[in-house]
A and B are shown apart, each in its own frame.
Chain A
Amino acid sequence: MSADQLTARMHAIWANLPGWGQLAAVNHTSIGKRFMVTGAVFFVIGGVLAMLLRTQLALPMQTIIDADAYNQLFTMHGTVMMFLFAIPILEGLALYMIPKLIGARDLVFPRISSLGYYSYLFGGIILMSSLFLGVAPDSGWFMYTPLSSAEFSPGPGSDFWLLGITFVEISAMAAGVELTVSILKSRAPGMTLTKMPIFCWYILAMALMIVFGFPPLILASILLELERAVGMPFFAVAGGGDPILWQHLFWLFGHPEVYIIFLPAAAVISTVIPVFAGRPIIGYRWLVLAIILTAFISFGLWVHHMFTVGIPQLAQAFFSIASMMVAIPTAIQVFVWVATLWHGRVTYNLPMLWVFGFLMVFVCGGLTGVMLALVPFNWQVHDTHFVVAHLHYVLIGGMLYPLIAGIYYWLPHFSGRMPSLRMGLWGFWLTFIGMNATFLLMHLTGLLGMPRRIFTYSGDMGWSWLNLLSSVGGFVMAFGLGLVILDIILHFRFGEKAKPNPWQADTLEWATGTPPTPYNFASIPDIDTRHPLWEKPELMTSIPAGEHRLATIEHGRREILGTSAITGKLQAIYHLPTNSYLPLLAALSLAVVCIGLLIRVYPMALVGLLVAAFFLFRWSWENGSHPAMAPPTPDEDPSLPLHSRTTDGPGRWGMIVTLMADGALYLALIFGWLYLWTVSPEWQMPGESLLSVPVLLVSGVLVTVATLLFHRLTAALNQGQAHGLQMKLWLVTFVGFVHLALLITALVQAPLAITESAHDAVLFFVVIYLLFHSLLVTVVTALQALRVKYGYVSARYPYEPNVVRPLWSYTLGIYWCSVATFIFLPMVWGA
């Protein structure tokens, strides 16, 4: 096949469907771009909200916007910027870039990319609709209870926040899981972890932080929504709950989240600087160390948002020191960047200007961050405009500037056209000057005592001139950012055509074409260097010419290479799903669930849930050797098998990473339990177990038996013995259902007063959590039995039981762990 024929055929297999078929797209380039464009739209909305806030604050005692509207506006400004702009747009960039940097044609779970995007879009729309209905959430973007609870926020505002954001978080979790697995399992052969572009290290850390950082917030949101809708008193003192638990769970997510935003932005900086310094980054290993340190430390800082809560002194000192320690990995990165510039020769252009702006603004924000970590100083300036100034320096400096630098840097990649310098310069300087005018002065406003989140102030406080200047600065900045956006839009029409690899960069994404082909690489090269395009510039032509691996396409499958996690050794071919409407349909059903819960029409939510479950199971059905995925073909090479013919593959890794996230949620639940038990002022523990212990024990024995049976049948299958496989699976299913029935019996018989006692409410929630897992794994096992019947699972296709196996182990683990922690521990320690 000639190179032209190859690319034409590749295109036919990998392209999105035309017209409305675009809705079925699963390709990471398309999904990544959709994330970024949608994120930009939300950025503009969030920016308009900010301008309204600054208008109201420009002069003292103004009445342009009243308190109710102002409270909605600042809540939505924070929520939109954090959840609908910063995280999704960076996820979008990561989804777009990662396969191109590691030599893959797509992410390993393309349908998950699509589901993530639609969840984000629908969740965002649902949340925004509250603003237009005039019932937006108004308790601040961190939704402190009891202000956000039903008693003090009776309207639907908080529900919009809790449900909408949880919906949006599906997209973050999806991105976290699939980026982790893609980076670990689908790099080009030979690309060991230490040969990865540094960008990938940052994204790997970000993805893992999402996996562990988001579940506490998801749990907290579910608990608060249950409190609001059903009256389960998790955060209400009167029933034995504690409002401070919300703060712990929120910031347990909220602080890592800051680094989830910062790390990908720093990834852009670490990618752009070496290219324009004309020298590899100096201190790659130091950067990797700094990234890992940042990720770890960031999970130990959350209490620094709560220094004024009245936490014990020793804990305050610990979290104060930990918060300052995070300055060390950040300083390591700053000095690695300085060193690279120092020993290189810098080319000046638009991305570098934004990088320089990043440095000034971010270092300033970092320094005030260290100040805020000092507890006595924090007691003074916490919840004042000093904090508002600090967080905008960190987020604008640490996220927006690098993002714009990255967008300018990759513009030729997105569009095939170069950015223009003139308008870009105006955009930068107006943004830079306006931003500093707004927020540098705001530090002083805070020191002069202006609390945050007040909709107006009297003229005799000495804050008037500062606020006026901040408002003027805000509008200058908005104008600057408007120019940047306009510049980017116009460039698609008027930009000069880009040459291949216009910046002389070192990384593989520039070998995917400008703009890229839907399959990125017509053939996949072996990579044994961090700087492939610097050391082997011939890759620019040999890849599209089909001179490397996987240059056959007659089978009609979307294929990428599967490699080992650390060494990058070639292991298998991963076949990927093609365009599919299932993610859209599943997300639409979930949107119905979300709206049903919002308007409290629970039958509607239930129907939505069942329909969503149907689509998701249908999705799982079209896998493996199913005709819609990878039916057997004569050309299969046993030395490099398709992953569904093996016992390991991306699905198994995806299952394990998902269970890590699930485990993080479960740990947060145990934390909440122990926290309420030991700290909550009016907690009450009954003297004996409310659930029948014998029934629980029998149910536990059954889930143990089911898990052991499943492990044995999988082990036998992996040995090639599929005798009686279907019967064995049906048997496991049966045992699973009996276990479920007993657990339900225990729950129904228990005299739980879930609306009066936080203890009972938590217990109820735990059992529901266990039931969900037991039900899921049992149904999945039943489906496996059916798939044996259809021939999709057999000795030749032993893959899927290996994917399900960790789910059984997890179900077993949480069952006994829960019985021990929630039933036996109170019996031993007493009430």
Chain B
Amino acid sequence: MLKRLANSLVVASSLFLTACSGPMSTLDPAGPSARMVSGLWWGMFVVGTLVLVGVVWLWWHAMQRDGQSTADEQLQEKQNRWVIWGGIALPTAAITVLLAFGIPAGHRMLPWPAGNVMEVHVEARQWYWQVHYPEHDIELLNEIYIPVNTPIDFHLTSQDVIHSFWVPRLGGKLDMIPGRTNVLRLEADAPGTYQGQCAEFCGRAHAFMKFEVIALSAEDFAAWQQEHEEEPKDER
């Protein structure tokens, strides 16, 4: 009996995990930023569900019971208790805890100066991505090769309308705005192909404005780099 229960739990959880995976799933993180956000999400999901169930239960119970017996003169004190605990203390505590986790997490995702950061420039246009490696003078279209376990600073800008650079399995998005350059730091844990897509509505082909980030091991990346640097420039 227990075993059957355990089995079905395993099946259920694997189904659940399948449901959470996907080529652009934020719940299937493959980099430190995405992993932090995924952790935040599950924490918020659990607490949020508890609060929702609690409030709805309280409301339901309040509708069921007959409270006319409470004398009017007691109400003032009771009303203050309801509001102070439920209306002020509860959200204040929840917000404090949330920020205690959230602000440091957000801080760690920012592109602070660090030793081994690689720089990649991405320019968006309706509806494609031009990728440029300033250190090696390599240019690509709609695909970005990066080494694993290396923080990459993506310098993002746009040549026409506003776009948004997003690789969900690696981390959050950042807008690409004409006239400015935003810097987004991402890092991949393991070799693989990670899908990206424009997240800011940018016109007719917005739905198809996709790209791929291909993370390679350090050796593979070095080999790829060498191969590309040798390519004659004018054939590109």
A450 within 8 A of B: yes
Interface residue? B25 (CB, 8 A)? yes
Rounded to whole angstroms, the CA-CA distance of A139 and B161 in the bound complex is: 11
Name the B residues within 8 Å of A449 (CB-CB): 22-26, 168, 195, 197
> Which among A334, A364, A449 has the highest number of chain B CB atoms within 10 Å?
A449
Which of B24, B40, B62, B99 is close to A338, meaning CB atoms less than 8 Å apart? B62
Least Cβ–Cβ distance between B121 and chain A, in angstroms = 15
- Check if A461 sits within 8 Å of B23, measured CB to CB: yes
Taking a contact as CB atoms under 8 Å apart, the answer to whether A450 and B52 are in contact is no
Interface: B58 (CB within 8 A): yes
In whole angstroms, how far apart are the Cα atoms of A646 and B24 in the complex?
Answer: 69
Contact B56 A144 (CB under 8 A): no
The count of A-to-B residue pairs whose CB atoms sit within 8 angstroms is 265
The residue from A146, A286, A463 contacting B160, defined by CB atoms under 8 A apart: A146
Contact with A along B204-229 (1 / 0, CB 8 A): 11110000000000000000000000
Question: Chain A: which residue is nearest B58 at the CB level?
Answer: A338
- Flag if A342 contacts B65 (CB, 8 Å): yes
A830 near B: Cβ within 8 Å? no
Contacting residue for A463 out of B22, B92, B168, B203, CB 8 A: B22
User: Are A454 and B207 CB-contacts (below 8 A) given A335-B87, A448-B27?
Assistant: yes
Stretch of B104-112, B130-138, B140-148 with 4 or more beta carbons under 8 angstroms from chain A: B104-112
Cβ–Cβ < 8 Å partners of A456 in chain B: 207
Bound together, the chains give a CA A68 to CA B204 distance in angstroms of 6
A24 to B92, CA, bound (A): 52
CB distance from A309 to the nearest CB of B (A): 5
Q: Is the CB of B27 within 8 A of A447?
A: yes
Least CB distance from B166 to A in Å reads: 7
A806-828: which have CB < 8 Å to B?
none
Q: B102 to chain A: which residues have CB within 8 Å? A: 320, 374-377
Decide: B173 and A152 in contact? CB cutoff 8 A: no
- How far is it, in angstroms, between the C-alpha of A71 and the C-alpha of B23 when the chains are bound? 25
Flag the segment in A26-34, A197-205, A236-244, A550-558 that touches B: A236-244
Q: How far is the CA of A383 from the CA of B203 in the complex (A)?
A: 14
Q: Do A375 and B88 touch across chains, with their CB atoms under 8 A apart?
A: no
Count of chain A residues with a beta carbon within 8 Å of a chain B beta carbon: 88
Q: If A244-B177, A376-B172, A383-B164 touch, does A453 touch B206 (CB 8 Å cutoff)? A: yes
In the complex the two chains form, what is the Cα distance from A359 to B51 in whole Å? 13
Contacting residue for A345 out of B66, B161, B204, CB 8 A: B66
Q: Tell me, rounded to whole Å, the shortest Cβ–Cβ distance linking A459 to chain B.
A: 11
CB of A379 within 8 Å of the partner chain: yes
Give the residues in chain B near A367, CB-CB below 8 Å: 48, 51-52
Selected contact of A460 from candidates B23, B55, B79, B126, CB within 8 Å: B23
For residue A140, CB closer than 8 A to chain B, the reply is yes
Residue in B closest to A337 when the chains form the complex, CB atoms: B59
The answer for the CA separation of A183 and B128 in the assembled complex, in Å, is: 55
> How far does the alpha carbon of A645 sit from the alpha carbon of B173 in the complex, in Å?
63
B:34-90 near A, CB below 8 Å:
34, 36-37, 40-41, 44, 48, 51-52, 55-56, 58-68, 70, 75, 78-80, 82-83, 85-88, 90
A342 touches B22 (CB 8 A): no
Closest to A360 in B: B56
Q: Check A462–B55 contact: CB distance below 8 A.
A: no
| Residue B95 at the chain A interface, CB threshold 8 Å | yes
8 pairs of A and B residues whose beta carbons are closest in the complex: A379-B172, A449-B24, A462-B22, A237-B179, A332-B87, A335-B86, A454-B207, A341-B62
Interface residues of B (CB under 8 A from A): 19-27, 33-34, 36-37, 40-41, 44, 48, 51-52, 55-56, 58-68, 70, 75, 78-80, 82-83, 85-88, 90-92, 94-95, 98-99, 102-103, 105-107, 109-110, 126, 160-162, 164, 166, 168, 171-175, 177-180, 182, 195, 197-207
Interface on A for B, CB 8 Å cutoff?
A: 67-68, 71, 139-140, 144, 146-147, 152, 237, 242-244, 278-279, 282-283, 286, 290, 308-310, 313, 316-317, 320-321, 324-325, 327-328, 330-339, 341-346, 348, 352, 356, 359-360, 363-364, 367-368, 370-371, 374-384, 444, 447-457, 460-463, 680-682
Q: What 20 additional pairs, Cβ within 8 angstroms, besides A147-B203, A331-B87, A383-B164?
A: A67-B206, A140-B201, A144-B200, A237-B178, A243-B179, A309-B175, A335-B83, A336-B83, A339-B78, A346-B63, A375-B106, A383-B199, A447-B27, A448-B22, A449-B168, A451-B199, A452-B201, A454-B206, A461-B23, A462-B22
What are 10 A-B residue pairs whose CB atoms fall within 8 Å in the complex?
A: A144-B161, A283-B83, A308-B173, A334-B55, A363-B56, A370-B44, A370-B98, A377-B44, A383-B200, A451-B198
